[in-house]
């Protein structure tokens, strides 16, 4: 039941996200759209409550309870990130907003981005570990909590992997493509060629003295 509820919560998250953004940008009802998006945390509360009731009813802590704790932990830290990402693309597509800025790809800017993502994952792992420890204390039987402690060890492994991954971009920053070389001018040729009129050339129709002389001449029939 808990595994099925996790799947339902995941599907419901994306349904609420799509519905909230559609109400905000397509139906022009931003307040209602925001209200729908604010319902998303209720999914984690529901999953937490069902898991706690299942343990209180005497269920043996197992894989499903650990998975629920991990799902809640990572959803708490990543849900807002995905909502903001989807909102930016939706606003660009349907509201004429600027295109969302892509994450940096090279240099220390990329390293900083990876550390931010790693910090988000580490925080999710920490929340999951705290929920798992609360479940262990709630059960009160070390013999029945082996699976939950294994999940805690996995969260520690996730933390180590995140630190190694982000640290690799700090120690070995990813370099961007080299700029294309500029071709040097050949010998005997100017570096820049400008096609322009000589400075001394003046259009005769723009000469006022010439215009006045032509106006004073009466022509062959004037004599």
Closest Cα to residue 41, out of 1, 9, 2, 86? Answer: 9
Contact 176, 107 (CB under 8 A): yes
pLDDT at res. 119: 97
pLDDT at res. 191: 53
Cβ-proximal residues to 4 (8 Å cutoff; 6+ apart), any chain: none
Question: Which residue ranges in the chain fall short of pLDDT 50?
Answer: 193-195, 197, 199-206, 211-223
Closest Cα to residue 101, out of 92, 30, 112? Answer: 92
pLDDT at res. 76: 95
User: Measured between alpha carbons, how far is 147 from 3 in angstroms, rounded to an integer?
Assistant: 16
pLDDT at res. 184: 59
User: Measured between alpha carbons, how far is 176 from 109 in angstroms, rounded to an integer?
Assistant: 11
**pTM of this structure:** 0.77
Model pLDDT for residues 78-128, shown as the tens digit of each residue: 999 999 999 999 999 998 899 999 999 999 999 999 999 999 999 999 999
Contact 92, 98 (CB under 8 A): yes
Percentage above 90 pLDDT, the chain: 67
pLDDT at res. 175: 84
């Amino acid at each position: 039941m808990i595994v099925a509820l996790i799947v339902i919560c995941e599907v419901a998250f994306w349904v609420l996200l799509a519905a909230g953004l559609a109400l905000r940008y397509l139906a022009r009802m931003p307040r209602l759209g925001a209200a729908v998006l604010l319902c998303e945390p209720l999914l984690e509360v529901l999953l937490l409550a069902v898991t706690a009731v299942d343990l209180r009813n005497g269920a043996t802590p197992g894989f499903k309870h650990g998975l629920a704790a991990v799902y809640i932990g990572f959803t708490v830290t990543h849900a807002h990130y995905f909502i903001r990402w989807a909102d930016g693309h939706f606003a660009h597509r349907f509201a004429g907003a600027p295109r969302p800025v892509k994450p940096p790809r090279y240099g220390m800017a990329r390293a900083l981005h990876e550390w931010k993502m790693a910090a988000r994952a580490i925080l999710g792992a920490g929340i999951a570990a705290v929920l798992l420890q609360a479940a262990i204390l709630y059960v009160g039987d070390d013999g029945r909590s082996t699976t939950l402690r294994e999940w805690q060890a996995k969260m520690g492994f996730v933390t180590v992997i995140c630190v190694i991954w982000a640290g690799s971009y700090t120690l070995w920053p990813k370099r961007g493509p080299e700029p294309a070389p500029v071709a040097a001018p050949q010998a005997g040729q100017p570096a820049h060629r400008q096609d322009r009129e000589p400075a001394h050339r003046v259009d005769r129709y723009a000469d006022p003295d010439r215009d006045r002389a032509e106006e004073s001449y009466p022509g062959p029939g004037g004599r």
